[in-house]
């Protein structure tokens, strides 16, 4: 065989030799050279070797096939680092051309050890992190144990001169000492009671860390529940940490609602406890739904795009918040409103989802659309009440006043009952479930009567009939009031309660016997939002004249003080906006005025105020006194002031 050197490239002149160059069995790969001892040279770094080799050292000290380590045969501490060095030589000299050297080992491949180039060496952006470039024939890297334990066999390989050459070494890495075990997460953190149709399994994870802060693998951990109520149990009571340091316990729900914590203890005695995992029905119940608004009395009459945030809270039969992403559906009679929100989820300014308060979600109501304006109510001073056009008093259960909006929130859930034996399930003839046939139901059920028939007194406060819009706010469904459904469920016809409990806490055997049903029902709640106005309703003055007409005149001869009672309300006879301020004024220093109260609004009805006028007792005078009503604007900064009434003092005779 003849070898001809041309620069750094070895030309192989026979096909047999060319084949042998790619095979470890012919001296390549694991031996550190593609051709060893060609030309009669000695072993290792002999000068007779004319092909590329990779190894440790240079010149006479060069050892082919060996990775140099700064720690020698010493063990590497847990989480410790060591510098690894390889040189590539050709014809006994370090190569000048750059070569890519790949470092690998079982721990590097699993991420339990890390490789970092040093001394200015770096890999290109499109190569793996364990691939580094030589600089003047040398590649230096820092090897860091990142959870690796025991012996790790490391190889450094490259292709140079047309052949694959490699070097190797082994590092013995000491086991880390466990310093902490911490709860990571529970997925999900809310599971349903066994047999209720929801997710009954949760995976609870812990992570084990050592003295270096790195994950520790191979650590045995035992798990223990703080309660086994209702048959709650662990599917596995132990685990061994993987390379990422994680261990996990699988929890399976029982038949009783509870909050549970898991204690994880390592075989070295280090312990930690999980956050609470809730075991409950997973479904909201009628008594657990509530609704609120940031502004119940927005100044929105005849004004578009005035907003109020509507928030709904949902809880189950055990007052636990329902799982995240439980949908809540909205319908409004007046203005516009978003159709749905999902509990526990909020949308940030970028339109991205984030976790919010469990069991709660919100939508925005906005004034818009055609504003209806029928015959307005009038104020009857003798009755001291607003009267509908038909002569009826416009009470709280009347629908003759404009500006009153109904907003309904609904979702699928369970009916409510009183769990007398506290076993978490519905027991017929033991627990209390009020229906149309329940004794004394009217006295019991009035407290639980939502506006839209969620628990109409006619049919019992627990036994739900169809949801409907209670337009006249009287708690009873009239034939002209439409029935509400979601997801196209229901017949569109009003159906009263069926006389039995409907919900997931009904036992299978009782459902088969017809004592209760496991069907979900449409639970719901609603509220009145009153669109108030800047304009105020007419109200009588002391002599019967109305605002805008000549001022009412009163004689205060020999009378120092008089008081006048007036009604303040908006143009539809509704209450004024929250934060309305009332003040007085006069046009004469000899006349003073005061008003009680000095604030109004935030109520469904108008506010009765008393204007008190006092004149000087030293000389005769005349003049006027009036009320100012300051109504907050929708932007919460500007105000509008209206003189809603004035009393002219006709005369005063001073008698010394």
**Number of domains the chain contains:** 4
Q: Return the higher-pLDDT residue of 580 and 638.
A: 580
* Three-state secondary-structure class, residue 511: helix
147 with 185, same domain?
no
Lowest-confidence segment of 33-42, 291-300, 584-593 by average pLDDT: 33-42
pLDDT at 311: 97
Res 571 pLDDT > 90: no
Question: In percent, how much of the chain has pLDDT > 90?
Answer: 32
94 and 188 assigned to the same domain: no
Q: What is the pLDDT of residues 79-91, one digit of tens each?
A: 889 999 999 998 8
One domain for residues 635 and 584:
yes
- Ranking 286-290, 404-408, 477-481, 650-654 by mean pLDDT, the lowest is 650-654
Residue 393 in domain: yes
pLDDT on residue 31 = 43
Can you read off the two tokens belonging to residue 293? 């608004």
Shared domain for 158 and 195, answered yes or no, is no
* pLDDT of res. 8: 34
- Model pLDDT, residue 491: 63
Tell me whether residue 541 is in a domain: no
DSSP 315: B
Determine, yes or no, domain membership for 149.
yes
CA-based nearest residue to 500, from 450, 426, 441, 443? 426
Over residues 609-616, mean pLDDT:
85
Task: Look at residue 109 and tell me if it is in a domain.
Answer: yes
User: Which is more confident, 39 or 343?
Assistant: 343
Domain finish residue from 156, 173, 190: 173
Query: 518 or 4: whose pLDDT is higher?
Result: 518
For the segment 372-397, what is each residue's pLDDT rounded down to a tens digit?
655 678 888 888 888 888 888 887 66
Do residues 357 and 432 both lie within one domain?
yes
What's the pLDDT score for residue 176? Answer: 86
- Decide the pairing of beta strands 289-293 and 307-314: antiparallel
Within its chain, how far is the Cα of 468 from the centroid? 30
* pLDDT on residue 119: 59
pTM: 0.65
- pLDDT exceeds 80 at position 638: no
Please check whether residues 168 and 198 belong to one and the same domain: no
Exposed / middle / buried, residue 74 (Cβ in 10 Å: 0-12, 13-18, 19+)? exposed
CATH number of the domain to which 589 belongs? 2.60.40
**Is 542 among the domain residues?**
no
* Chain centroid to CA 406: 27
Pair (392, 506) in one structural domain? yes
**Stronger pLDDT, 645 or 178, i.e. the higher one:** 178
Residue 540 counted as domain residue: no
Confidence label for 35 from pLDDT (cuts 50, 70 and 90): very low
Question: How large is the average pLDDT for residues 502-511?
Answer: 90
pLDDT at 640: 42
Select from 494, 529, 564 the last residue of a domain: 529
The pLDDT score that the predictor gives to residue 100 is 92
| 416-461: pLDDT as tens digits | 998 998 888 899 989 989 887 777 666 666 544 444 544 444 445 7
- Under the banding of pLDDT at 50, 70 and 90, the label for residue 29 is very low
Burial call 385-397: b when 16+ CB within 10 Å, e when fewer: bbbbeeeeebeee
38 pLDDT exceeds 90?
A: no
The answer to whether residues 306 and 276 belong to one domain is: no
Instruction: Give the domain extent around 77.
Output: 3-173
Mean pLDDT of 152-175: 92
Query: What pLDDT is stored for residue 195 in this prediction?
Result: 75
The residue written with tokens 């607003």 in the block is 386
Note whether 27 and 50 are same-domain residues. Answer: yes
Whether residue 163 is found in the same domain as residue 223: no
Mean pLDDT of the chain: 79
What residues are paired with 4 via a beta bridge? 11
- In-domain check, residue 536: no
Same domain for 240 and 301, yes or no, is: no
CATH number of the domain bearing residue 233: 2.60.40.10
pLDDT of residue 485: 77
- Provide the token pair at 383: 């009755």
The domain boundary, picked from 249, 280, 311, lies at 280
Query: What are the start-end ranges of the H helices in 403-456?
Result: 441-445
More confident residue, 24 or 128: 128
DSSP-derived letter for residue 60 is G
pLDDT value for 374: 59
Do 370 and 269 belong to one domain?
no
Mean pLDDT of 519-539: 83
Residue 534 lies in a domain: no
């Amino acid at each position: 065989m003849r070898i001809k050197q041309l620069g750094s490239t070895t030309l192989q002149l026979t096909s047999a030799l060319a084949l042998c160059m790619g095979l470890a069995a012919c001296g390549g790969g694991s031996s550190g050279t593609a051709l060893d001892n060609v030309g009669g040279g000695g072993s290792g770094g002999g000068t007779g070797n004319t092909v590329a080799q990779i190894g440790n050292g240079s010149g006479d000290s060069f050892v082919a096939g060996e990775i140099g380590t700064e720690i020698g045969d010493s063990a590497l501490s847990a989480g410790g680092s060591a510098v690894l060095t390889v040189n590539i030589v050709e014809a006994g000299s370090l190569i000048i051309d750059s070569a890519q050297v790949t470092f690998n080992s079982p721990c590097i491949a699993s991420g339990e050890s890390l490789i970092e180039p040093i001394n200015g060496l770096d890999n290109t952006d499109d190569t793996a992190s364990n691939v580094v470039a030589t600089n003047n024939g040398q590649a230096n890297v820092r090897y860091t144990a990142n959870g690796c334990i025991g012996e790790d066999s490391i190889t450094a390989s490259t292709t140079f001169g047309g052949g694959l050459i490699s070097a190797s070494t082994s590092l013995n890495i000491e086991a880390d000492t466990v310093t902490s075990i911490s709860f990571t997460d529970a997925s999900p953190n809310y599971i349903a009671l066994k047999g209720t149709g929801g997710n009954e399994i949760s995976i609870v994870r812990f992570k084990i860390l050592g003295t270096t802060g790195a994950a520790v693998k191979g650590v045995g951990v035992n798990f223990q529940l703080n309660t086994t109520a209702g048959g709650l149990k662990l599917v596995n009571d132990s685990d061994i940490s993987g390379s990422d340091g994680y261990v996990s316990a699988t929890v399976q729900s029982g038949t009783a609602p509870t909050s549970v914590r898991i204690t994880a203890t390592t075989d070295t005695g280090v312990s930690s406890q999980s956050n609470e995992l809730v075991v409950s029905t997973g479904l909201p119940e009628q008594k657990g739904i509530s609704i609120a608004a940031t502004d119940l009395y927005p100044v929105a009459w005849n004004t578009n795009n005035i907003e109020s945030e509507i928030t709904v809270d949902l809880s189950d039969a055990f007052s636990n918040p329902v799982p995240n992403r439980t949908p809540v559906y909205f319908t409004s009679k007046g203005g516009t409103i978003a159709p749905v929100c999902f509990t526990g989820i909020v949308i940030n300014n970028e339109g991205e989802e984030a976790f919010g308060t469990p069991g709660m979600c919100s939508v925005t109501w906005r004034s818009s659309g055609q504003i209806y304006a029928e015959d307005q109510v009038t104020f009857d001073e003798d009755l001291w009440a607003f009267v509908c056009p038909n002569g009826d008093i416009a009470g709280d259960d009347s629908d003759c006043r404009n500006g009153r909006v109904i907003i309904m929130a609904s979702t699928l859930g369970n009916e409510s009952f009183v769990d007398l034996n506290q076993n978490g399930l519905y027991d017929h003839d033991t627990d209390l479930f009020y229906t149309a046939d329940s004794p004394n139901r009217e006295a019991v059920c009035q407290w639980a009567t939502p506006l839209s028939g969620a628990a109409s007194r006619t049919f019992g406060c627990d036994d739900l009939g169809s949801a409907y819009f209670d337009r006249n706010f009287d708690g009873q469904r009239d034939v002209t009031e439409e029935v509400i459904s979601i997801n196209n469920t229901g017949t569109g016809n009003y159906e009263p309660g069926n006389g039995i409990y409907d919900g997931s806490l009904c036992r299978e055997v009782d459902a088969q016997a017809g004592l209760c049903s496991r069907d979900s029902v449409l639970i719901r709640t609603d509220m009145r939002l009153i669109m108030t106005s800047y304009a105020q309703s007419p109200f009588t003055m002391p002599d019967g004249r109305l605002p805008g007409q000549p001022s009412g005149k009163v004689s205060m001869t020999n009378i120092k003080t008089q008081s006048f009672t007036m009604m303040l309300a908006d143009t539809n006879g509704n209450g004024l906006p929250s934060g309305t301020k009332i003040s007085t004024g006069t046009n004469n220093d000899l006349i003073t005025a005061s008003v009680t109260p000095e604030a109004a609004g935030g109520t469904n009805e108008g506010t009765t105020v008393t204007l008190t006028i006092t004149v000087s007792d030293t000389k005769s005078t005349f003049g006027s006194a009036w009320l100012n009503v300051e109504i907050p604007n929708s932007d919460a900064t500007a105000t509008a002031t209206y003189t809603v009434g004035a009393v002219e003092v006709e005369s005063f005779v001073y008698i010394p």
